[in-house]
Amino acid sequence: MHARAAAYQAAAADVVLTRRGSGDHVSNMPEWNAPGSASYTQQGASTGAPSGRPPMGGVSEAATRVTGRRVIQYIVDYVLSGIIPGLAYWLLDRGALHAFGWLVATVISLAVYYWYWVIRPHGHGGQTFGMQIFGLRVISKDGGPASTAQFFIRGILLIVDTLFFGLVGLITMLCSRYRQRVGDHAAGTVVVEADRVGG
């Protein structure tokens, strides 16, 4: 029985040597186009992206490392976007027509809010006034321009991001690979340096 086992082993070795000699062997090189294979790790090394995960669209992680500027930019935009609504409430929300004045001031505030956070940036290359000052821009996560709907979603969810003095948005950004706040995740947008993308 031992002799028969040895014979089988010898025959198997002959087959392996024959296949190697004829070039019929399996390559150890990674399959670059196979999803889930070592290809993404190799591509990540060549493009600067973290190992195992391809870059998101045309956006690099380095272009989104602008958290400090975003904090200051938001403070500037918050002040600027609140000037007209503040004046409206101060002028209209008083006297005998208190309720009507409050209603008019609220309508004015909502209109200003929509213009400032949706219409204005959509028509000016993804930039609010604060973003223009600090060299930032909102784009879609695929690298293209953000749509009106995306700006609208970002604007609405500022309500969530500014909870607890803005800590919700800040912590979400710091924990995000592409520094996206809650509104960015929902809208599919990122904020990048303005000179990293075409304007």
Higher pLDDT, 19 or 35: 19
pLDDT tens track for 147-158: 999 999 999 999
Q: What's the pLDDT score for residue 170?
A: 97
Above 80 in pLDDT, residue 199?
no
**105, 92 Cβ separation under 8 angstroms:** yes
What pLDDT, on a 0 to 100 scale, did the predictor assign at position 59?
85
- In whole angstroms, give the CA distance from residue 128 to residue 77: 7
Q: Judge whether 84 and 108 are in contact, CB under 8 Å.
A: yes
Transcribe 62-100 into DSSP letters. Answer: GGG--HHHHHHHHHHHHHHHHHHHHHHHHHHS-STTHHH
**What is the model's pLDDT at position 114?**
98
Residues 76 and 130: beta-carbon distance below 8 Å: yes
Mean pLDDT of 8-22: 46
SS3 192: strand
DSSP label at residue 195: G
Pairing of strands 136-140, 189-193: antiparallel
- Its pTM stands at 0.69
pLDDT in tens, 48-105: 444 334 456 678 899 999 999 999 999 999 999 999 999 999 999 777 778 899 999 9
Q: What's the CA gap between 16 and 22, in Å, rounded?
A: 10
- Looking at every residue in the chain, the average pLDDT score rounds to 79
- Judge contact between 136 and 193, C-beta under 8 A: yes
Average pLDDT over residues 6-18: 46
What's the pLDDT at 196? 64
Asked whether residue 124 carries a pLDDT value surpassing 50, the answer given is yes
Q: Which of 75, 101, 97 is nearest to 89 (CA)?
A: 101
Confidence check: pLDDT of 132 > 60: yes
Question: Residue 57: what pLDDT?
Answer: 61
Q: Smallest Cα–Cα separation from 138: which of 189, 66, 198, 68?
A: 189
% of the chain with per-residue pLDDT over 70: 69
Supply φ then ψ for residue 136, to 5 degrees: -120, 165
